[in-house]
Structure 1
Amino acid sequence: MKRHLLRGLIAPLLIVLAMVTGLAGQAHAQVAADGDGDGLEDTLEDTLATQFFPWIWFDSGEDSGCADPATSSNPGTALARVRPHPGDPGKIAILYTVLYRQDCGDWFGGSHSGDVEPFAVTLTPQVNCPTGYAAFALKTTAHEGTAFEHTDERLLGNDCNWGRAAGGSPQVARIYSAENKHGNYASLDSCESGAAGNDHCSESFTLPYTVFNVGEDGARRIDELSAYQFPGEYAWTPVPFSGSLDRGSDAGMIRTKLVSDGLLARAA
């Protein structure tokens, strides 16, 4: 009788143990999937950062090599920070920085090694979209921190397909890079009037880009950029970015862009 009773107790205990072990394993998997600890699964972040990256239009006057390392046959490098929007945690904020080897100084001289050009997209949950998110708002910033600083912001209509990889067309999911200076604009008109009329944009050609999710400062998925076409440069470490060229001339730090909430697109 005691033997049968013992067996009756052991079986349920084994089941409970298996359930606890399984739940612990699931919890570990969930934690491991959010490597930067911001509450968003890393694979979702990567997908959204790629899906909602737009077409970048360049002007016909862009000097040869000024858009390097991006060419028609070599994707350029863009970094992304993806996180819950600080203005509305129910939405997702993506801050992109497009990296260039140099700014060619199209007006008033001003050329320098390295160029870090930000823009941002806000996403909102949308169950009918393939990724579960839609494009809510776009914000571009040109010549940040100078007398010619200019921002454009527009709502995107909760578009599931806004973005180059999401199927958005070059005429819809687009921003404009000013000739040789690379300041980003959301429209041709704002670019042509930018920098006191010295910036120029057109829909002359686009170039491919690969987007890399850098994670968060406290949990860096990417920092040193040698594997991303920029040896000796850093996404998070506070080192001025010089496009892997002359250290005597730089474009400030990539980190400064990544941590700036003021560059984010609106959440409401």
Structure 2
Amino acid sequence: MNRFTRIAVLSLGLFLFPQGPARAEGLATIPYGDNCWGTGTDADKDGLNDDCEYQVAFWFMPLFWFDSGESGHARRPYYAVKSTSFSTRTLQVFYMDTFFEDSGVTTGHDGDPEFQILEVHFSGGRWYLDWAYLSAHRKSSCDSSAWYSYGQLEYDTAIDSRNGSRGWPTLYVAEDKHATYNNLSTCDSGCLSQDYCSRTTYQYLDTATTNRLVSRNVGSTTVQLINSVTLNSKTERLLDDVEFKGWDDQWYRPNSQGYRRHLNDFGF
């Protein structure tokens, strides 16, 4: 078949089977743009509108896929937001997963301070995901944490049609150990091939049915909006350089190190 015939066949195919409209990238659901900077209430004194911080954190909140064997879903997430550049309208959101426990058979401990950092920017009326840092046993002997560009991430549009490429990402959570990965194959090679993920049960980071992430902005390590959090008569200090016990602290297993060292490393 010569190239002219191929062109004719291709043209006929496009006529008979027209392509659907391309889905726009990014998110148009966030009611802020340039006015995220320098307007409104700014409790943590970082130059950002507090409601804009919430809206960005809410709309880019990751979707998690868990394995059927997961036994430690429980968590109470928090977040922090900072501006990295006004000229490029770029923010970073630090999501603190605060899983109550790592229930790995040989590695179990109280409190599991895994986290994600999403870097996003505003342009032309939409917000776009650029990069994601996914913690995976960070600072441990099998640290598999990494930065991923938006093109290395997955986006689930079937669950919510408002999402699209460069919107909120789909992440895979290692069974019982809660490291997060950009896809199944990366997960299965994580932590020296000890991690395992599957697409069995999905949940958003915050499992609440309403008011997700409301009143969960911790501010920063220098201007703390939330630090001490009491739950089930136990208190965690999320921003201090102390252990994170997942509001549990069982005598028979160790606690984890807290979030402060990670927040410091990334300038939050």
Paired letter, 2:257: G
| Residues 1:46 and 1:87: Cα distance change in structure 2 (over 3 Å) | closer
Residue 24 of structure 1 is matched in structure 2 by none
| Corresponding letter in the other structure for 1:226 | T
Partner residue of 2:236 out of 233, 238, 243: 233
For 1:67, which of 47, 55, 73 is the aligned residue? Answer: 73
Assess, with a 3 A threshold, how the Cα gap between structure 1 residues 96 and 165 changes in structure 2: closer, same or farther: farther
What's the CA shift string for 1:25-61, capped at 9, x where partnerless? xxxxx68711111111111001101110110111112
4+ long deviations beyond 6 Å: 86-89, 161-166, 169-172
The structure in which a higher percent of residues are helix is 1
Q: Does 1:93 align with 2:106?
A: no
The one-letter amino acid paired with 1:177 is: V
* TM-score, length-scaled by structure 2: 0.71
Q: What's the CA shift for 1:89? A: 7.1
Q: Which residue of 180, 185, 189 maps to 1:184?
A: 180
Cα distance in 1 between the residues matched to 2:223 and 2:161: 28
Which residue of 150, 156, 160 corresponds with 1:156?
A: 150
Find 2:199's aligned residue among 175, 191, 203.
Answer: 203
The Cα offsets for residues 150-193 of structure 1, whole Å up to 9 and x where unpaired, read as 13333226x9x989989337997211110001111111111001
Unaligned stretches of 5+ in structure 1? Answer: 1-29, 69-75
Matches of 2:47 and 2:175, distance apart in 1: 39
Contact 1:153 1:186 (C-alpha < 8 Å) held by counterparts: no
The match for 1:46 among 44, 54, 66 is 54
Q: Kindly state the Cα deviation for residue 247 of structure 1 after the two structures are TM-superposed.
A: 6.5
Q: Distance in 2 between matches of 1:142 and 1:221?
A: 27
Separation in 2, partners of 1:89, 1:116:
30
Contact 1:101 1:243 in 2 (8 A): yes
Q: Does 1 or 2 have the higher relative contact order (CA < 8 Å, sep 6+)?
A: 1
Give unpaired runs (5+ residues) of structure 2.
1-37, 207-211
Whether 1:134 and 2:128 are equivalent positions in the alignment is yes
32 and 239 in structure 1: CA distance in 2 versus 1, 3 angstrom threshold: farther
C-alpha distance 117-124 of structure 1, shift in aligned 2 (>3 A): same
Cα 1:200/1:240, change in 2 over 3 Å: same
CA–CA separation in structure 1 for the residues paired with 2:80 and 2:160: 18
Contact 2:88–2:121 (CA<8 Å) still a contact in 1? no
Kindly tell me: are residues 230 and 67 of structure 1, through their superposed partners in 2, closer, same or farther at Cα, counting changes over 3 Å?
farther
Partner deviation per Cα, 1:99-136 (whole Å, 9 max, x = no partner): 11110124xx111111111111001122321xxx2211
Distance change (3 Å), C-alpha of 1:37 and 1:85 = same
State percent identity of aligned pairs. Answer: 24
Distance 1:215 1:165, change over 3 A: farther
Q: 1:135·1:162 contact (CA, 8 Å) conserved in 2?
A: no
How many pairs are equivalent? 217
Taking structure 1 as reference, are residues 127 and 97 closer, same or farther at Cα in structure 2, changes over 3 Å only? same
Contact 2:234-2:248 at 8 Å conserved across structures? no
Q: Bigger radius of gyration, 1 or 2?
A: 1
* Alpha-carbon distance in 2 for matches of 1:166, 1:180: 30
Deviation at 1:201, TM superposition (A): 0.3
